[in-house]
Amino acid sequence: MRVLLDECFPRRLGRLLTGFEWSTVQQEGWGGLKNGQLLAAIQGKWDVLLTNDANIPSQQVIVQYAVGVLIVRAFSNDVKELSRWMPDVLKALPEVRKGTVVEVGDPALLGHES
């Protein structure tokens, strides 16, 4: 499975994605693209967009894209804060399907808009 880390997701956490091929939006040359443009660009190249941008589902119709989105809900995008949810990310990644959104993270934030 190929996982692309969004611009807002700390690159250092990619090292924790053992067993998955990964890269970052910046490394692939897509820095600065709006969410819809990014999702369209990565179709067929990446399986999952890993992000902590909780607004994507309300801004985009994810089902129209041939890529899944995994959102890590946390109180900040600090490496230490997000790293505590990486075991949940590793568990959830195999379940993410194209055109779907899966959320992991702080229970106080799951299912709520930020």
Q: How many domains in the chain?
A: 1
Q: Give the pLDDT of residue 114.
A: 43
Domain-embedded: residue 49? yes
Total number of residues shown for the chain: 114
Average pLDDT of the chain is: 94
Q: What is the pLDDT of residues 61-76, one digit of tens each?
A: 999 999 999 999 999 9
Domain-embedded: residue 112? no
Helices (H), the chain: 35-42, 56-59, 79-83, 86-92
Whose tokens are 């909780």? That residue is 54
Domain-embedded: residue 64? yes
Number of neighbouring beta carbons within 10 Å of residue 23: 16
Q: Give the pLDDT of residue 34.
A: 95
Retrieve residue 109's tokens.
Answer: 């934030």
Domain-embedded: residue 114? no
Q: What is the pLDDT of residues 74-114, one digit of tens each?
A: 999 899 999 999 999 999 999 999 999 999 999 888 865 54
Phi, psi of 34 (to 5 degrees): -70, 160
In angstroms, the CA 95 to CA 80 distance is: 25
- pLDDT(25) > 50: yes
